[in-house]
Chain A
Amino acid sequence: MALLTVDGLEAQYGWIKVLHGLHFVVEEGGITTILGANGAGKTTTLRAVCGMVKTSGAITFDGRRIDGAATETLVRLGIAHVPEGRGTFVNLTVEENLRLGAYARRERVRLADDFARVYRYFPVLSERRRQLAGTLSGGEQQMLAVARGLMLRPRLLLLDEPSLGLAPMVVREIFRIVRTINKEEGVSVLLVEQNALLALNLADQAYLMETGQVVRSAPAAELQKDDAIRRAYLGY
């Protein structure tokens, strides 16, 4: 069953149109990845889903149309966006960052359970819980950003280029945790990545974007074996 359906999505910054009619689907409980080079419009796509850019076209989440809705409303529906560059609150502590992740939850919040859950996935955050987020390393901040997203108990987790600027070992660790979260909690994931190798390893379904349009859509495993893709995006 499709959790998120995007149909004919267009987006623009001022006079410049960046997305020219996108179609893609995120299956419930699955991991979908959008690949593409710099400037393809991947980040814009996530921002469009989150209501941060002016769009036209249909975005359907869990059966209801959400295009045009404000970001704050979408968060309350269970969409957690881990932005490009992590977006941590650098002058707040790790614990405060996590607490903010749960801010949007309507129901009576049992924060202690959520903290325990998140610290289980990311033990290093537990060690640093009272430190200012700005003093964490890049990898730790990325973990914090993902953890913050998880505090929402989201239905859909949007990850924007989580590998950017991080050491390969750290990135692999984060991706491993994302897979675990997806398996254990059934959180659907929409992953935007430049690192096609890692993304295709993780995802079930993949879309390839070029200058604002989807040019290929296939199960990830299929794209991994495709020669043309290999040469263009994996470099060998």
Chain B
Amino acid sequence: MEIFFQQVVSGLATGGIYGSLALALVMIYQATDVVNYAQGEMAMFSTYLAWTMINAGLPYWLTFFATLVIAFVGGLVIERVIIRPVENAPILTIVIVCIGLLVILNSVAGWIYSYIQKPFPSPFSERPVRIGTVVFGAHDIGAIGVTLVVLAFLYVFFRFTTLGLAMRAAAQNPSSSRLCGIRVGWMLALGWGLAAMVGAVAGMMVAPKVFLDPNMMAGILIYAFASATLGGFTSPGGAVLGGLIVGVFENLVGTYVPFIGTELKLTVALALILIVLVVKPSGLFGRAAVHRV
């Protein structure tokens, strides 16, 4: 029974990371109808920047918040400079630009930092946390906490602030938003900034577990797709919940089903995507698209 709880908590921690990245994907998808395939690489690159700062001697939490700011600005700049020239182009054109971005970030990270894995510190203690008779990793509990704080911040921002409302409006209905005086282009840029920031959190929380290397986020991106598919690409909350479910499911399957090793774990995620798409494409919490004639 104790193993069960351990695996669930551990699953929630990884699930939170999947969910965060999935949230970033959904945020941009809702505003632009484009899936930002470079989201994982942006997170990876942010994490490398954090690594550089920590290696230079900066304290962890200072680095953490500095990285959030850098990621936010980076995301904003990428949208204004790289995405804006093609924002009215056909969707596949924008997809190719995102793929180009993915490839550039991955390659530059490998060039600057090499492909050798690097350890990344966790701000949480090494000593395990004991609740009752069950032992949990401190990092797992900490990661869950950090994810919750970030999500709470975003929720409050979007639901209760005017700027958040304007961003939601710009995502849903750009032309009406302009008629309200909202600068839609900048709302988009802000969205990219926030998404990049969320991705950076995911990167910094996962790096201590899987070690930092340029291909670190590739697998996680796939799990993020699975999470967003499960939760629904039209539902930010759903994407996060989807992440938690995928994380826990992955861990439990890995523990209790004997022949699923690490190799097949990925196949499980893929099978999950396919099953959801066949049964209910819009996901658990998403809205089915209504086509008006």
Contact = CB atoms under 8 A, between A and B. Distances in A.
B181 A72 contact: yes
Interface stretch (B54-62, B66-74, B142-150, B170-178): B170-178
A56 interface: no
B29 to A, nearest CB: 15
B139 interface: no
A99 B173 contact: no
A91 interface: yes
Contact of B180 (A50, A90, A91, A101): A101
A76 interface: yes
A87 B173 contact: yes
Interface string B181-218: 11100000000000000000000000000000000000
Given A99-B162, A100-B166, A87 B172 contact: no
A85 B219 CA distance: 45
A96 interface: yes
Interface residues of B, number: 16
B92 interface: no
B176 A103 contact: no
B178 A103 contact: no
Contact of B165 (A76, A80, A100): A100
Contact of B169 (A52, A75, A76, A100): A100
A89 B172 contact: yes
A222 to B, nearest CB: 33
Contacts of A99: 162, 165
B179 interface: yes
Residue in B173, B177, B178, B183 with the greatest tally of chain A CB atoms within 10 Å: B178
B179 A83 contact: yes
Contact of B182 (A72, A91, A96): A72
Contacts of A91: 172
B180 A103 contact: yes
A72 B166 contact: no
Q: Size band of the A side of the interface?
A: 20 to 34
Contacts of B173: 87, 89-90
A103 B168 contact: no
A155 interface: no
Contacts of A72: 178, 181-183
Contacts of A88: 176
Interface string A67-102: 000011001100011010001111110001001110
A87 B182 contact: no
B184 to A, nearest CB: 8
Given A99-B162, A103-B162, A89 B169 contact: yes
A92 B168 contact: yes
Nearest to A104: B181
B177 to A, nearest CB: 8
Nearest to B177: A100
A42 interface: no
A93 to B, nearest CB: 10
B168 to A, nearest CB: 7
Contacts of A75: 178-181
A111 B177 CA distance: 19
Interface in B135-166: 162, 165-166
8 contacts: A71-B178, A75-B178, A75-B179, A75-B180, A83-B175, A96-B169, A103-B166, A152-B181
Question: 4 closest A-B pairs (Cβ-Cβ)?
Answer: A104-B181, A75-B181, A87-B176, A71-B178
Given A83-B175, A83-B179, 11 more contacts: A52-B178, A72-B182, A75-B178, A76-B181, A81-B179, A83-B176, A90-B172, A90-B173, A100-B180, A101-B180, A152-B180
